[in-house]
A and B are shown apart, each in its own frame.
Chain A
Amino acid sequence: DSGVTQTPKHLITATGQRVTLRCSPRSGDLSVYWYQQSLDQGLQFLIQYYNGEERAKGNILERFSAQQFPDLHSELNLSSLELGDSALYFCASSVFAGGGNEQFFGPGTRLTVL
């Protein structure tokens, strides 16, 4: 158990809908990362927050947004969903924002868009 929790574990929805994925980092970790893993793809970095502020953006679509709240949990919002958004979404956390920091991953949320 990494100490990172993600809810829900599974999510099935229809195209055009909007969903929210939630992540609680390990106790004491200030940095939260979101990744997408599609079929045959590695982990694609989406976005990072550090102590409530956005720190880095990766391959995140404009239909997607995220935030980190004062209690440090984070939410990833996916809107106008398309079939291609079906994937595993992982959240990870680390103490600091970089420097070869080990990131601790949650179990992921499997999103299926029908």
Chain B
Amino acid sequence: DQQVKQNSPSLSVQEGRISILNCDYTNSMFDYFLWYKKYPAEGPTFLISISSIKDKNEDGRFTVFLNKSAKHLSLHIVPSQPGDSAVYFCAASAWNSGGSNYKLTFGKGTLLTVNP
């Protein structure tokens, strides 16, 4: 059961344009959502997060939007730069059933290519 889904395996955009990466989730108990970026041969690096009590969080060129009713979040990158080319993972966290710990659940990732 895939609780976090990134339905687009890849996305290609032109430099300077907007990149929109999408993520859907099924578990209404998720209370934090995070985006990670991963370059080849490196581990994922944290990009931006949003609490479930908010609908928008912005950090420079990166903005994450959360639509709880639709169980959907998106990452906007404006303007896109060639250095943004990477795999982007959406992740969501929630307490486990025993209430003793958090667990991060990742999507399968979207490969973003920004063309010069």
Residues of A within 8 A of B (CB): 2, 4, 33, 35, 40-45, 48, 50, 55-56, 58, 90, 92, 97-108
Which residues of B pack against A, CB within 8 Å? 4, 6, 31-32, 34, 36, 41-46, 49, 51, 89, 91, 93, 95-96, 100-109
B32-A99 in contact (CB<8A) = yes
Contact A98 B44 (CB under 8 A): no
Contact residues in A for B95 (Cβ distance below 8 Å): 98
Contact B108–A56 (Cβ < 8 Å): no
A2-B43, A35-B106, A56-B101 known, 19 other contacts, Cβ within 8 Å? A2-B45, A41-B108, A42-B4, A42-B6, A42-B108, A43-B44, A43-B89, A44-B106, A45-B105, A48-B101, A98-B101, A98-B102, A100-B32, A100-B34, A102-B34, A103-B46, A105-B43, A108-B42, A108-B43
Closest-CB distance, B112 to chain A (whole angstroms): 15
Closest residue on chain A to residue B93 by CB atoms:
A100
Q: Is the interface of B mostly helix, strand, loop or mixed?
A: strand
> How many angstroms from the CA of A108 to the CA of B39 in the assembled complex?
12
Query: Would you call the interface of chain A mostly helix, strand, loop, or mixed?
Result: loop
Task: Pick the most buried of B44, B95, B103, B105: most chain A CB atoms within 10 A of its CB.
Answer: B44
> What residue in chain A is nearest B52 (Cβ atoms)?
A100
